[in-house]
Structure 1
């Protein structure tokens, strides 16, 4: 049977996004296409520190060029390429040796890390860490919000998209989203900073630090565990955008926000048990009307 692809380097050119429109269209209609997409999607999710996409691509391309010389009814090089990709996936999963925890809407989970440090993860959040070399490099990656009770020992680092926290045995809360980074120290001492180390602060008990839309803020707060752990989320002069994001994560909601100013600030709290009371508590004082467009979509309008 004729090779279904135009030349021996077809898959290499596809991986490098060099196909012409006709080749791309025909390939996307083939049975093989979705198989390769699935494999590559798995590779994209790997986070091994030794993972080098360019190196992997070169290995795959080399295999393609070598194995594509054999053609049968089901081309042998197809199996060779797939096998190469699967071996690479297995290799990186083996050495990645990572663990992750995540939560759904309105969900919280608590767990212990390898050194006995405790973490409580808030709704729609994720935490990842590497098991390998943990004793020498205690580092976790956080998306969302979490409360940490860190055991004393070597340095402990929390990395996020918008900033980092470095501690040495303490209790603290981290809330992070795109363009938002907030740290509150409950016990001990922490160092909070953006990812460029251009803004940083040493926080002790009752101190808080925030970077929101490139604005740096420091303030004092209560020293107890964050209220969200016991079912009540509290805000201190927080941009409304972050308050709405919290409501979305807690109650599985979406909001039409185009008719309000999301930079407005809110101070107060809402309870997790009653969605209507939560909306009233936040939006009535801010003179914002809210209307359910359907069960999970709300339209906001400034009065």
Structure 2
């Protein structure tokens, strides 16, 4: 279809099911069809600020009727309202869309947020936020691991599936999985919250909940080692160490023959997978065998 939008009633007629057969076929084959279909499908779940819909509807209807007395089976004002509704829905989703950044295996990216705060996203992690809400609420949602350098200002919240972190201006690392939540404060002051557990952390404090156990310790690091190409662990469950390897090297492990609750303290380098495997599993007396290029079988010796 060359230019369906030159007819200002086209989208309204489509919404009302009034397109003729040729118009309908051409529109459904156009590149814009799926975009408009997605918008319409979202209408039922749309949440918007409260307003008096009946009053606005009647005002528009009455105003249009004053200008056009023609009687039709489908009143002319319905086309205008339908087109207006479609436009408003499109604007709603445009201004309320979520901005998302994600990393792949072995990848890191550095982001600058709207207030100048900096986030370094570790491998296989995702960060999202709403630009439209940023002036009122500095809030991001994190899956995976990230290092934050937050500018001073209003409260800054990092929301995860495992817990949340609240700060004013500081530098900290968050590592989160379904059953693992770890926060390390490198500068300033943060509050880490998960369920009924809450901890206030200052520079050098670390906090973790793993297997429903709360752990705290001290560190002298000024930033997480993974930023410099080496991932370090302090008495960390082996399950999380293995998860880190999987995200870094795009591999998977057969783990049924080992105890994943064992604890590991040490580090591995991102540049060499063979060296990384030796560094972690040899001291723990776990043998590893490549089943294929991307799958490794672990067995306790």
Q: Distance in 1 between matches of 2:41 and 2:245?
A: 33
**Could you say which residue in structure 1 is the equivalent of 2:265?**
267
Deviations along 1:178-233, whole A, 9 cap, x unmatched? 11100000000000010x2x101000000000011111101001231100000000
**Could you say which residue in structure 1 is the equivalent of 2:139?**
139
**Could you say which residue in structure 2 is the equivalent of 1:285?**
283
**Could you say which residue in structure 1 is the equivalent of 2:102?**
102
Q: After the TM superposition, which residues 241-256 of structure 1 pair with which residues of structure 2 at under 5 Å, given as runs?
A: 241-256=239-254
2:181 is equivalent to residue 181 of structure 1: yes
**Could you say which residue in structure 1 is the equivalent of 2:153?**
153
SS of equivalent to 2:162: coil
Q: Distance in 1 between matches of 2:46 and 2:246?
A: 31
SS of equivalent to 2:274: helix
Kept in 2, the 8 Å contact 1:165–1:192? The answer is yes
Q: Distance in 2 between matches of 1:43 and 1:239?
A: 44
SS of equivalent to 2:132: coil
**Could you say which residue in structure 1 is the equivalent of 2:201?**
203
1:90 is displaced (CA, Å) by 3.9
Q: Distance in 2 between matches of 1:134 and 1:267?
A: 39
SS of equivalent to 1:132: helix
Give the direction of change, closer, same or farther, for the CA distance of 1:192–1:256 in structure 2 (3 Å limit). Answer: same
Give the direction of change, closer, same or farther, for the CA distance of 1:89–1:248 in structure 2 (3 Å limit). Answer: farther
Q: After the TM superposition, which residues 164-175 of structure 1 pair with which residues of structure 2 at under 5 Å, given as runs?
A: 164-175=164-175
Q: Give the CA RMSD over aligned residues.
A: 2.8
**Could you say which residue in structure 1 is the equivalent of 2:215?**
217
Unaligned 5+ runs, structure 1 = 1-34, 52-82
Q: Distance in 1 between matches of 2:212 and 2:46?
A: 30
Give the direction of change, closer, same or farther, for the CA distance of 1:49–1:111 in structure 2 (3 Å limit). Answer: farther
Kept in 2, the 8 Å contact 1:260–1:301? The answer is yes
Kept in 2, the 8 Å contact 1:48–1:95? The answer is no
Give the direction of change, closer, same or farther, for the CA distance of 1:88–1:277 in structure 2 (3 Å limit). Answer: farther
Unaligned 5+ runs, structure 2 = 1-32, 50-82
**Could you say which residue in structure 2 is the equivalent of 1:29?**
none
State the TM-score, normalizing by the size of structure 2.
Answer: 0.72
Q: Distance in 1 between matches of 2:255 and 2:202?
A: 36
**Could you say which residue in structure 2 is the equivalent of 1:235?**
233
Q: Distance in 2 between matches of 1:157 and 1:271?
A: 31
Q: Distance in 1 between matches of 2:160 and 2:250?
A: 23
Give the direction of change, closer, same or farther, for the CA distance of 1:299–1:169 in structure 2 (3 Å limit). Answer: same
1:104 is displaced (CA, Å) by 0.2
SS of equivalent to 2:275: helix
**Could you say which residue in structure 2 is the equivalent of 1:22?**
none
Kept in 2, the 8 Å contact 1:187–1:223? The answer is no
State the TM-score, normalizing by the size of structure 1.
Answer: 0.71
Give the direction of change, closer, same or farther, for the CA distance of 1:92–1:216 in structure 2 (3 Å limit). Answer: farther
